[in-house]
Structure 1
Amino acid sequence: MKYTPLPKELYERNRRKLAAKLSKNSVAVFNSNDNMPTNADGTMRFRQNNDLFYLCGIDQEETILLIAPDCPNPNMREVLFLRETNEHIAIWEGHKYTKEEAEAACGIKNIQWVDQFDQVFNTVMALSENVYLNTNEHLRAGVVVETRDARFIKSCKERYPLHQYHRLAPIMHELRGAKEQEEIDQLQIACDITEKGFRRILQFVKPGVWEYEIEAEFLHEFVRNRSNGFAYEPIIASGPSACVLHYIENNRACKDGNLLLMDLAAEYGNYNADMTRTIPVSGRFTARQRAVYDAVLRVQKEAMNMLRPGVTIQEYHKEVGLIMQSELLGLGLLDQTAIKNQNPDWPAYKKYFMHGTSHHLGLDVHDVGTMYGPITPGMVFTVEPGIYIPEEGMGIRLENNIVVQENGYFDLMRNIPIEADEIEELMNS
């Protein structure tokens, strides 16, 4: 692997947190993700199931994790099942974990080959009453293929119909929502790599450069710093394309006088940064561009201060909307009549700022975590207000990643240039 793995003590701690949430006499099972096909005999790059990774750090296909904290046989309270390698696999696919390497990585003593799973699981199930199984329950998930988890749920319920079945997802959302320090450190590396890419393109962007050339510059910098690449499909949107929230074609030339919105970031060790910056293609903001830019930046700064323990995301988004409303009034984009006549379910400000300001960040770019419960210290959020004015061919979004602390926040992107004056200075140096 390219990245430096996190210490096994993190995964041991995470498993203890999970065990404390399970009912008496329970067993929990986590499956790795599938190798996903493309066409013919092609497959996509493997990406581990994040819940399994959170609990053991094993970044390999065909892995199963079994946790049964109350099992009378201490040897079966934690069992990790791995794909057994051989000479053929080693030649065609490369090295796979040995049992000794897996134990060193995750701290689990009982490592078995995956073909032993049914035998071990049958024994543990005979000694258990409750079964916890995993599914993707992200509020915005659109699952259209049958996952390894889904197949396992079917087979498990067919073989063991009289056990009590429970959902792991709510527990994992709670646990993964607040990050341990080791996770924050990994996110910081992803943000630092993202910074290197951004500083590189500030010297590269000029009128006539194509969006895909900018994408290539970022990718070069990310990979050379031990990232697997982009944390998500990069948005590199010049001119009016910046008003398309999920513009990913990246196929336009950057023109003099346009703004360039870039929503992209690096991943590192399966943890993801999430940055947006908007810069002037020519190296200088016009007066109108600067006014809108500064308005977005003011909203971002105020929003960062509002993300604090005890607040809910729903309350926070409403308050940020009022701040944005004031800025849009100042820019002449809204007037009091529009506000007076607005639909409470779709306030007037949403004409120019139609998305949320923040989401959880971590192993997933839109990470799991509470959307209705109170924010707690250790949660990591994006803060990304924007103003989009199609009639002016202008879209501006600014996004940083912050860690909520007991008394304030810590900005993981504090070193990435964001002030308009600094952007212009770096582009013209």
Structure 2
Amino acid sequence: MKYQNIDHKLFVKNRENFTKHLKNNSLAIFNSNDEFTRSGDQNFLFKQNCDLFYLCGIDQEKTILLLYPDCPNPLYREVLFLRQTNDHIKVWEGHKYTKSMAEQASGITKIYWLEDFTNILHSIIHYADHIYLNTNENDSSPHTVAYRDIRFIEEMRTKYPLHHYERAAPILRQLRQIKSAEEVMLIQKACNITRDAFIRVLKFVQPGVAEYEIEAEIIHEFIRQRATGHAYPPIIASGNNANILHYADNNQSCKENELILMDFGAEYANYNADLTRTIPVSGRFTPRQKSVYNAVLHVMQEAKKLMKPGTSVKDYNDGIGELMTEQLIILKLISIDDVHNQNPAFPIYKKYFMHGISHHLGLDVHDYADRHTPFKAGNVLTCEPGIYIPAEGFGIRLENDILLTADHNIDLMAGIPVEIEEIEEIMNS
């Protein structure tokens, strides 16, 4: 890992909070993610299972966490199983956790090699009434690959068919959406690195630069500051490319008087930032570009005021719709008659702003949370309005990451330039 060590108190507290929600005499098991083959004998870069990392802070493949608070044998109430390192692995792969290093990282004192897992589990599982197993229950997209957790569930049900099986995911969905102070610090670190990358880009962009060259400047700054890399594939969309919401080719030349929509964020210690800015290739916005930009900025600033604990998602989105409709009328993109005649199921503003304005952020970019419950203090949410005008050859989106507290909101990206004057000043300095 490139990032600096995290105090294991974060993971100790997370485990305490998780086990409080278990039924009496329950055992919970968490697996690391698979290593996925890329091609030939090459694997994709390993990404740890976010739930496992949340509970123990171990960022390594072939890891299992076992939690059994009521275990009659106190040795096995909290156990971590690791892939055993050796001289061959040391030479070919480098760093792997030793037991002492894993204890320091996780705060868990009972650590065994992975080869001991089957025997230890079998020696205690018959005393447990309930077994909590984990799956990826993020509802943003279906999962078609039988990943490690799915295979493990099948194995457990075959070996121990008469136990009562429970889902760990609902507990973690409840816990992970409320960020602790330590988690906020890690997200803030990712935001700060992202800020520096954006300022670097402002000083770099000029007519003729390629989108991929901008991407290169961003990853340079990320890695220089110990980020793992991109939190997600970056969007560097010049001109009409900005009207492709998930544009990822990043292979075009940026032309004079065009705009560049850039959606990117750093990943630091598995926590993510998510930023969007739109800037002028030539260093100055045209009058029309300014009008649309300021409309998007107005919606973002007003939307942040609506992000309060207790606000329902429906009320929030209804408020955003009203804000955006008002701005689109001012810009003469829609008329009052269009609004009166609109289909309530597909409001007219969605012609120019067709995506959601917010999502939870944390260990996942689209983080684990219950999207049907009102906002809560401790949520970290993106705020990302946009206006997309293919007929005029540009789209504008702005995005900051916002921490909700009991009495006010904290913009974790408040230090990142967003006003037109500040952007133009840096680009022309």
Matched ranges for 1:321-332 at <5 A: 321-332=321-332
Residue in structure 2 matched with residue 339 of structure 1 by the alignment: 339
> Is 1:236–1:262's contact at 8 Å kept on the other side of the alignment?
yes
How many residue pairs were aligned?
A: 429
Matched ranges for 1:38-187 at <5 A: 38-187=38-187
Residue in structure 2 matched with residue 37 of structure 1 by the alignment: 37
Aligned partner letter, 1:267:
E
Aligned partner letter, 2:110:
N
Residue in structure 1 matched with residue 225 of structure 2 by the alignment: 225
Aligned partner letter, 1:412:
L
Question: How many angstroms does 1:124 deviate by?
Answer: 2.4
Cα offsets for 1:70-89 (capped at 9, x unmatched)? 11222211110000011111
Q: Please, which runs of 5 or more residues in structure 1 have no aligned partner?
A: none
Residue in structure 1 matched with residue 251 of structure 2 by the alignment: 251
> Is 1:386–1:398's contact at 8 Å kept on the other side of the alignment?
yes
Cα offsets for 1:245-286 (capped at 9, x unmatched)? 000000111011111000001111111100000001111111
Partner SS state of residue 260, structure 1: strand
My pick for the range that moved more, 311-320 or 385-394, is: 311-320
Residue in structure 2 matched with residue 372 of structure 1 by the alignment: 372
Partner SS state of residue 358, structure 2: coil
Question: How many angstroms does 1:342 deviate by?
Answer: 1.3
Partner SS state of residue 37, structure 2: coil
Find the aligned partners of 2:296 and 2:239 in 1 and give their Cα distance. 17
Find the aligned partners of 1:307 and 1:104 in 2 and give their Cα distance. 38
TM-score normalized by the length of structure 1: 0.99
Partner SS state of residue 382, structure 2: strand
Aligned partner letter, 2:249:
E
Find the aligned partners of 2:352 and 2:159 in 1 and give their Cα distance. 54
My pick for the range that moved more, 135-144 or 346-355, is: 135-144
Residue in structure 1 matched with residue 352 of structure 2 by the alignment: 352
Residue in structure 2 matched with residue 315 of structure 1 by the alignment: 315
Question: How many angstroms does 1:220 deviate by?
Answer: 0.7
Find the aligned partners of 2:340 and 2:411 in 1 and give their Cα distance. 36
Partner SS state of residue 410, structure 2: strand
Aligned partner letter, 1:398:
L
> Is 1:84–1:113's contact at 8 Å kept on the other side of the alignment?
yes
Find the aligned partners of 1:427 and 1:281 in 2 and give their Cα distance. 9
Aligned partner letter, 1:116:
D
Question: How many angstroms does 1:317 deviate by?
Answer: 1.4
Residue in structure 2 matched with residue 384 of structure 1 by the alignment: 384
Residue in structure 2 matched with residue 194 of structure 1 by the alignment: 194
Find the aligned partners of 1:218 and 1:161 in 2 and give their Cα distance. 51
Residue in structure 1 matched with residue 3 of structure 2 by the alignment: 3
Find the aligned partners of 2:248 and 2:59 in 1 and give their Cα distance. 28
Find the aligned partners of 1:375 and 1:421 in 2 and give their Cα distance. 33
Partner SS state of residue 215, structure 2: helix
Matched ranges for 1:383-422 at <5 A: 383-422=383-422
Percent of residue pairs bearing the same amino acid type: 54
Cα offsets for 1:275-327 (capped at 9, x unmatched)? 00000111111111000000000000011111111112232112111111111
Partner SS state of residue 30, structure 1: strand
Find the aligned partners of 1:121 and 1:410 in 2 and give their Cα distance. 45
Partner SS state of residue 387, structure 1: strand
Find the aligned partners of 2:139 and 2:244 in 1 and give their Cα distance. 22
Find the aligned partners of 2:315 and 2:31 in 1 and give their Cα distance. 36
Aligned partner letter, 2:218:
F
Matched ranges for 1:260-299 at <5 A: 260-299=260-299
Aligned partner letter, 2:138:
H
Aligned partner letter, 2:415:
N
Question: How many angstroms does 1:210 deviate by?
Answer: 0.5
> Is 1:27–1:124's contact at 8 Å kept on the other side of the alignment?
no
Partner SS state of residue 295, structure 2: helix
Question: How many angstroms does 1:144 deviate by?
Answer: 2.4
Cα offsets for 1:92-135 (capped at 9, x unmatched)? 11121111111111111110111111111112211111111111
What is the root-mean-square deviation of aligned Cα atoms in Å?
0.8
> Is 1:312–1:371's contact at 8 Å kept on the other side of the alignment?
no
Find the aligned partners of 1:166 and 1:374 in 2 and give their Cα distance. 26
Question: How many angstroms does 1:5 deviate by?
Answer: 2.3
> Is 1:68–1:124's contact at 8 Å kept on the other side of the alignment?
no
Find the aligned partners of 1:201 and 1:26 in 2 and give their Cα distance. 52
Question: How many angstroms does 1:233 deviate by?
Answer: 0.1
Aligned partner letter, 2:285:
F
Cα offsets for 1:28-61 (capped at 9, x unmatched)? 1100001111110000111100000000000000
> Is 1:314–1:371's contact at 8 Å kept on the other side of the alignment?
no
Partner SS state of residue 42, structure 2: coil
Aligned partner letter, 1:74:
P
Aligned partner letter, 1:196:
D
Find the aligned partners of 2:419 and 2:30 in 1 and give their Cα distance. 44
Aligned partner letter, 1:32:
S
